[in-house]
Every structure is written in C-alpha cells, then in structure tokens.
Amino acid sequence: MRYRTTIEGMMLRHLLPFLLLLASAPGLSAPPLREALDTPLLFVKRQPYWAGHIYDDYYTWHPGGGIYVLENPADPPEKHRTRAVIDPKTPETLGVGVYREPDLSWDAKRIVFAFRGSSTGGTSLYEIGIDGKGLRRLTEPETVCPVTKCRYAQDFPGHHDIAPCYLPDGRIAFTSTRSRARVPCFNSAVDVLHVLGPAGGKIECLSVNNVNEFDPSVLPDGRILFGRWEYVDKTALYMQSLWTVSPDGSNETAFFANNLAKPTAVLDARAVPGTGLVVASLTPHNGQSAGAIAMIDPALGKNNLQAITNFTPEFRTEMDQGIRRGFCDPWPLSRDLVLAANNTKGEGVIQLLHRDGRRETVIADPAISCYSPIPVKPRARPPVVASTAGSSPAGFFVRDIHRGLPGIEPGTVRWLRVIEETARVSEIPPGGRWWNQAFLVSWQGAYIVKNVLGVVPVEADGSAHFQAPPGKALYFQALDEKGRALQSMRTFVQARPGLTRSCVGCHEPKAGAATNTRLPLAAAKSPSRLQAEPWGSGWLDYPSMVQPVLDRNCVG
C-alpha cells in the first residue's frame, strides 16, 4: 500500500503542471474568479500617497475620490453598478480631500474612515452609514503641532488619526500622532495605537512605543493584530513586524517576524476566515507601502520565512528599499483567494488573486486608483476580551533567566537591569537632515536616550519577581554579580497596573512550558523594588559618567 501511494504521489506531482496548463487553455478555462464575489464590494477611490516612507503617508496631499460600493462584482465589468457612499458630489459630503482606510461594522451597516480636507490640516475619523446617511465626525485634530519647534508646525499643523477599525465592544481602534513623539531617524510624527470610546467618546492611548505602529485589525479571539516598528538597539530599517495586544492595551505579544531581518515591513495584516493564517502586504521601509501579498502561517514559526506563501512572486518577500508600485490592502476571502489593490501598471485596480497564480481584475477606473476592498456583508463579532486593569502594582515574574541564554552557566546572572527606551521629542538641529540629529545621542550608535531605572536581584535558581513602573517602554539586561551585562533584550514591553506578566526565560517559545516543578525561589517572596546601581541610575550621560573614568585612569 505504501508503494502504491508513493507511485500515485509521483504521478500527481508530474501531472499537476500539465493539468493546470489544460485548465488555462482556450475553451477549458476555469470559471471566472469573480463568481466567488456573492456580495457588494466597498472600496476607496484615491490618488497614490507617493510618500517617502511607509510611516509618513498622512503628510502627503493628493486629493480626489471618495468611498464607493460596487453592487454586483460577480457580473462582467460592462454590467457593473457602482454608487457613491461619500464623495464631493454626494448629499452628505466632506468635499474634496483624501478619503482613506474604511472599515465596515460587524453588522455591515456603518463605515468608519479617515479624511483629510486640506493640505495644511490634520486627519480626522468619521462615520457614515453604508447608505450614505448619518455622516458624523468622531475625532477632532488639534490645530497646532503638538511638538514644540516642530518642522511640520508650519507645513503640517495638527495631528493625524488614521487606520480605524471596529472593535467587538463597540469602540474603535486607530493609530494617531497624538503620542507627541517623533521618529528618531527622521523628522515626522509618530502614530501609535489608540482606542476611541463608543459614539465618539473618550480617546485612550494603548501604546508606549516611541516609533510608528500600523493597520490594526481584529483576530477571531478578539485581540488586536497590528504592525509595530521598533528598534531597541536594532537597525532602523528592518523591524516592522506583527504584534497582538488586548484591547485594553495589555499583553502585547510578538506574532510574526520580530526576530527576522526580512521581510522589511509586514503591513495591512488581517485574519483569514476559518484558518489560523493571516494575510499581509510585505513592503520596503522607504517608499510606498506596497509590495508583495502573502499568507502567513505563524504555526510554522514566528521567525520562519517558510511560514510565508507569496501570492505575487514578481515582488520578493525580502525587499530592502523603496518601490513606487506594487500590491497592498489585501482582504482574504479564503486560504486560496484574496482581494487586493494593484497599481503596478500605473493605475490602481482591485484584483482577485488565487493561490495557484490566477488573477482577475474586479474594479478599475482609468481616472483614479482604487484601494481598500471589503465585502459588504455581516461578519461574526469576535468575543470581547476582558480587561485586566487593576489597582495593584505592575510587575514581572521570570521563572529562570538562564533558559534561552546559551553559553551562560546557571547561577551566573545575579541581577536584572530595567531600562526605559525613551521617545524622541527634541527639535531638529541645523540642516534638517536625519544625520544632524544623530550626534544628540550618539554617532550612529543608538538613536534613543536610555533611562536606567534600576536593578532587581535574581535568585540562585534564576528566578526574579519585581515591580516596574507602568506607562513606559521597558527592556531588561541580564547582569553578573559585578553588574556586567551578559545579554540585552532587543524589544520592549510595558507594565500595566493590576497585571504581573511572566515568562519561562529568555526568548521562550510561547508553545513551550516550564519543566522544573519546584516552586521558584522568587515566587515565595514579595516582588522586589527597583534599586539604584553603585553608580546611580537615570540617563546615561557621557560627560559626567564616562569622561571622569577616562580622566582618572587613561589621561596623564
């Protein structure tokens, strides 16, 4: 039986290309892909952003277009019926501007979107019915730049609220430059995750990130999936990976590619229905937020390139620098079929992409590009994730710091140093170019000022239990008994009141579990408080900390 199965497998492997060729031959072609579109399609008409980076496209000003519904996408193009939900000519309108990034409510009755109405203003969130009625403004951007002496205060006043998505509890997640930080390696504002209360209520910042975050969507279990740029002692270019977070801002967790140098940026991510997969755009860091469309299977490994299936092989999954054209805005219909925008030929069209390589254009307008396709149909509302907010001190628990530290003998690590990765709020030095700000911190060493908050003891069995201040981007260093660094964490985490986060060791696989059944020594003690090191704590300052050592020991 095994021999027969092997023969059949070999025959199928050799016959499959021939069968696919037959399927594409005249008279024998497969049914049109558009027949899978059994509901209307929501989409956007707009100009390409033509931004310099994937994180600053809200600064560009290329107005035109609006939000539309194609009523019958399964029909041939000559029979299509398209209606405007909102554009400059509809009864309820915001006029001419940039309409972008719509999301459809779970019951398919409302649309939330971002809009910028002038070249010198900010970007706000709005909501409107799918029938084009009930337009209302949800957020109001400031009219002045939130950063003192900001280069953009004159050219781009206000802040920008973009990339909205409905949450299961009725709130709206989005990214916003309200964080008041600025990109360390450039001069634009930083937009990070925020949430907006129901009916345009309270706005809350979920993130302590000091660089940009991207494209929130909701996973089937209710967590927020989003793109996160960070470089805690990493390169500035290659670290835009996928993360998850609970809607209350707790338990942020790496989802895919946090320790992969490539793909450079993973954007537009959302869950594929009925699977454990996600679809995403794989793009460069510089240039347009466009590139390859891929499905990712995180079950194959969070840092495994083999988890990526590229639906658009003409674009590599490992791009370095900017491109002007490519695919973006994927919406998965199944594990085999994806809607996506494609502007590789100069005008943006919306296409269906099949895993086997077939493609079909669904929407095209020669006068303007088309983006952000969404099927207009109700979706199952994911469960509401319970909040972990509380009044008890925020803390961390490590079972054995030596796990995941190859080459370091158990018992070597005696302290954990807790460091804050700060945000850049400094003005721009003369010249206005990115390298002019580097000498403010270090010359191409680290872009960010480090704030050493203190150290906590590590028990003889490698365990540690300690409190940490909330509202800060924290990372840890493993120290020996003399305070010498053995390993440094290259990502950040935030502490949340009412929550103690725990890990087995360094670089633990989330699917793993602790093997030691003994109660860790630190678990039997109250959490440690941060204490200063012999040299003190606070900002690292070369003139006052390093130069005296050189003067005392090296000069003379």
Q: Which domains are assigned to the chain? A: 33-375 (2.120.10.30), 395-553 (no CATH)
Rounded mean pLDDT of 209-225? 97
- 223-to-214, 256, 262, 497 alpha-carbon distances in Å: 15, 15, 25, 19
Q: Quick one: pLDDT at residue 146?
A: 42
pLDDT surpassing 60 at residue 486: yes
Q: Which carries the bigger pLDDT value, residue 536 or residue 112?
A: 112
Alpha carbons 455 and 449: distance in angstroms, whole number: 18
pLDDT surpassing 90 at residue 413: yes
Tell me if 388 sits within 8 A of 496, measured CB to CB: yes
Q: Quick one: pLDDT at residue 438?
A: 55
- Which of 206, 204, 281 minimizes the C-alpha distance to 240? 281
Q: SS3 string of 264-333?
A: CEEEEEEECCCCCCEEEEEECCECCCCEEEEEECHHHCCCCHHHEEECCCCCCCCCCCCCCCCEEEEEEC
Q: The tokens of 285 are what?
A: 């860091």
Which band of pLDDT confidence, cut at 50, 70 and 90, is reported for residue 424?
A: confident
Which band of pLDDT confidence, cut at 50, 70 and 90, is reported for residue 446?
A: confident
Which band of pLDDT confidence, cut at 50, 70 and 90, is reported for residue 338?
A: very high
Rounded mean pLDDT of 41-47? 97
Q: Token pair 């969404």 is at which residue? A: 374
Rounded mean pLDDT of 69-73? 98
Average pLDDT, the chain: 87
Rounded mean pLDDT of 514-524? 83
Q: Quick one: pLDDT at residue 5?
A: 42
- 113-133 b/e with 16+ CB inside 10 Å = b? bbbbeeeebbbbbbbbbbebe
pLDDT surpassing 90 at residue 430: no
Q: Quick one: pLDDT at residue 447?
A: 77
- Which of 255, 249, 250, 258 minimizes the C-alpha distance to 229? 258
Q: Quick one: pLDDT at residue 514?
A: 64
pLDDT surpassing 60 at residue 114: yes
According to DSSP, the residues that pair with 227 across neighbouring strands are 214, 242
> Could you give phi then psi for residue 268, rounded to 5 degrees?
55, 30
pLDDT surpassing 80 at residue 527: yes
Q: Quick one: pLDDT at residue 542?
A: 79
According to DSSP, the residues that pair with 99 across neighbouring strands are 115
SS3 45: strand
Rounded mean pLDDT of 200-209? 90
Q: The tokens of 445 are what?
A: 């060493």
Q: Quick one: pLDDT at residue 448?
A: 82
Rounded mean pLDDT of 277-296? 93
Which band of pLDDT confidence, cut at 50, 70 and 90, is reported for residue 392?
A: confident
Amino acid identity at 425: V
Q: Quick one: pLDDT at residue 332?
A: 98
Sign for the pseudo-dihedral over CA of 78, 81, 85, 90: positive
Instruction: Count Cβ atoms below 10 Å from residue 216 Cβ, excluding itself.
Output: 26
Highest mean pLDDT among 317-331, 401-415, 504-518: 401-415
Rounded mean pLDDT of 266-283? 97
Per the confidence metrics, is the pTM higher than 0.85?
yes
Rounded mean pLDDT of 436-445? 58
Which band of pLDDT confidence, cut at 50, 70 and 90, is reported for residue 23?
A: very low
pLDDT surpassing 60 at residue 2: no
The single-letter DSSP state of residue 371 is E
Q: Quick one: pLDDT at residue 62?
A: 95
Of the listed ranges 114-123, 175-184, 467-476, 529-538, the least confidently predicted one is: 175-184
Q: Quick one: pLDDT at residue 323?
A: 75
Q: Quick one: pLDDT at residue 552?
A: 92
pLDDT for 504-518, tens place per residue?
988 776 666 666 678
Q: Which carries the bigger pLDDT value, residue 120 or residue 67?
A: 67
Rounded mean pLDDT of 309-323? 83
Q: Quick one: pLDDT at residue 541?
A: 77
Of the listed ranges 13-22, 156-165, 269-278, 465-474, the least confidently predicted one is: 13-22
- The share of the chain scoring above pLDDT 90, in percent, equals 64
Rounded mean pLDDT of 373-394? 93
- The share of the chain scoring above pLDDT 70, in percent, equals 85
Rounded mean pLDDT of 293-316? 94
pLDDT surpassing 90 at residue 247: yes
Tell me if 445 sits within 8 A of 468, measured CB to CB: no
Q: Quick one: pLDDT at residue 324?
A: 76
Q: Quick one: pLDDT at residue 147?
A: 39
pLDDT surpassing 80 at residue 101: yes
Which band of pLDDT confidence, cut at 50, 70 and 90, is reported for residue 112?
A: very high
Alpha carbons 467 and 475: distance in angstroms, whole number: 13
Which band of pLDDT confidence, cut at 50, 70 and 90, is reported for residue 321?
A: low
Q: Quick one: pLDDT at residue 118?
A: 92
Which band of pLDDT confidence, cut at 50, 70 and 90, is reported for residue 17?
A: very low
